[in-house]
Amino acid sequence: MSEMNPFKIAQQQLDEAARKLGLDPATHELLRWPMREYRFTLPVKMDNGQTRIFHGYRVQYNAARGPTKGGLRWHPDETIDTVRALAAWMTWKCAVVNIPLGGGKGGVTCNPKEMSEGEKERLSRAYIRAVARELGVHRDVPAPDVYTTPQIMAWMMDEFEAIYGESHPGVITGKPIALGGSEGRGDATARGGVYVVREAAKKIKLDVSKASYAIQGFGNAGQFAATLHREILGGGKLIAVSDSRGGVMSKSGIDPSAIVKHKLETGKVEGFPGTTPVSNSELLELDVDVLYPSALEGAITGANAGNIKAKIVCELANGPTTPEADAILHKNGILVLPDFMANAGGVTVSYFEQVQNTYNYYWSMADIDQQLDRRMTDAFEAVYTTRERAKVHMRLAAYMVAVTRVAEACKLRGWV
């Protein structure tokens, strides 16, 4: 079904912003497509002595505002269209938080859960051998994403440095701290999201210290959102959480630290004491003040958007809301904090890592939190102001801010 093709959704969202902005046809058409995309065939020797062939991708969507930046996903269902869509969203994400980078994304079609550490290392190095000449701190900088880790980034950086015979820590971000990784990267996506929830709550006069919240998806971002919501906002009641296996809820509240500990120890949220089961779809429709969709794309659709009761929806996942759902949520007065603004804390701290690597001086955690807070707050203000002025929903407003910035850079360069 084409409506669920992520790249078609990304183009549809851009088209709407282009119409609203009155973008000229050439600029609009330029921004609808990646400027460069690469596909690689990667032969990798497996532990059993056989060679398996993997397919890899790297899309550099737009570099008008600076080197392209974006994660690297390892997933059995990875396709060029997923990677294209995510590279487009990275372009708008970097622009909306006003960092001097373009958007990129990479992927390998594989199932890392079935691979040994040695096999993952050989795949990491094979990928870099294929793409090394297209990467660099002034060209394109990958980072971890779905099923890739700081260790995988370490192997990739090492392979890049082996090829060039020089130290290049800034070629890749999300590295272990010992190899030039940045403080604050682990919780950056969730932290940035909670900062924009704080700003959104001020606009709708919601007392966040007493607000209830629920989290769909309990990986890295979801777990940090559970604890940071309470820490940064000075309170709040966690009502429900879910992961791919199912969910739990309690109207009297769930201890965020305890549920995170349970998930880390058992690998699931099910069975947490004092809770009742709730499905992923039921969780989305609970009567809570703040909803954090933190799983995969397409969770909120035209079919269930009318049942969403939250006042604020903070998208920590990429693409959790379809265009049809956006219109319904907006009509119902629900403030959606769109993914490429709400979850931009990750790329922002990745950018900080790149900066620190480049001038070989490292910041404190306090510096990083302060800089992140400022950028997320400024991004929210720019988007909310556009929403009020143009009378559009928040995602369209975020697109308008981002597309205006990228279009201006393309025009100044003389591309269009």
**pLDDT at residue 49 above 70?**
yes
Same domain, 88 and 163: yes
Q: Clarify whether residues 163 and 193 are in a common domain.
A: no
CB under 8 A, 24+ apart: contacts of 157-164: 159/124, 159/125, 159/128, 159/129, 159/132, 160/128, 160/132, 160/135, 163/128, 163/129, 163/132, 164/132
| Sign of the dihedral through C-alpha 307, 313, 318, 321 | positive
For residues 327 and 5, give the distance between their C-alpha atoms in angstroms, rounded to a whole number.
19
What integer pLDDT is reported at residue 48 of this predicted model? Answer: 97
d(CA 51, CA 49): 7
Q: What is the mean pLDDT of the chain?
A: 94
For residue 1, pLDDT over 60 is answered with no
Are 295 and 215 found together in one domain?
yes
Residue 364: the pLDDT is 94
Nearest to 186 by CA among 230, 142, 228, 221: 221
CATH code for the domain of 43: 3.40.50.10860
Query: Which candidate in 8, 45, 69, 105 is catalytic?
Result: 105
The band of 55, judged by pLDDT with boundaries at 50, 70 and 90, is very high
**Domain final position from 305, 337, 369:** 337
* 133 & 205 share domain: no
Task: For residue 105, indicate whether it is catalytic.
Answer: yes
Handedness of CA 404, 321, 105, 295 (dihedral sign): positive
> Would 382 be classed as within a structural domain?
no
Average of per-residue pLDDT across 208-234: 94
Taking every pair of C-alpha atoms in the chain, what is the biggest distance, in angstroms? 62
Strand partners, 109: 55, 75
Instruction: Judge if 193 and 162 occupy the same domain.
Output: no
- Whether residue 258 sits in one domain with residue 195: yes
Say if residues 317 and 6 touch (Cβ distance below 8 Å): no
Helix, strand, or coil here: 144?
Answer: strand
The answer to whether residues 156 and 196 belong to one domain is no
Of residues 83 and 6, which shows the higher confidence score?
A: 83
Domain of 153, in residue numbers? 37-167
Q: Residue 396 above 90 pLDDT?
A: yes
Report residue 343 as tokens.
């979850």
Instruction: Give domain status of residue 20, yes or no.
Output: no
Residue 153 tokens, joined: 């980034």
Beta-sheet strands, E only, within 46-146: 51-62, 68-75, 102-109, 140-144
Is the Cβ–Cβ distance between 344 and 379 less than 8 Å? yes
Average pLDDT over residues 12-23: 94
- Which pLDDT score, from 0 to 100, does residue 4 have? 67
**Which one of 313, 337, 361 terminates a domain?**
337
241-253 pLDDT per residue, tens: 999 889 999 999 9
How sure is the predictor about 111, in pLDDT bands with cuts at 50, 70 and 90?
very high
For the segment 263-312, what is each residue's pLDDT rounded down to a tens digit? 999 999 999 999 999 998 899 999 999 999 998 777 898 999 999 999 99
CATH number at residue 260: 3.40.50.720
Asked if residue 132 belongs to a domain, the reply is: yes
Q: Which helix (H) or strand (E) is 85 found in, with range?
A: helix 80-96
- Residues 400/386, Cβ–Cβ less than 8 Å: yes
Residue 200 pLDDT: 97
> Under the phi-then-psi rule, with left for phi > 0, alpha for psi from -120 to 50, and beta for the rest, what region is 333?
left
Q: Are residues 99 and 234 in the same domain?
A: no
Q: What pLDDT score does 126 carry?
A: 98
Residue 238 CB-half CA count within 13 A: 29
Q: Which residue's structure tokens are 């480049």? A: 358
Task: Please state the pTM of the whole predicted model.
Answer: 0.91
Structure tokens, 151: 């260790």
Distance (Å, whole) CA 379 – CA 382: 5
The rounded distance, in Å, linking the Cα atoms of 345 and 227 is 16
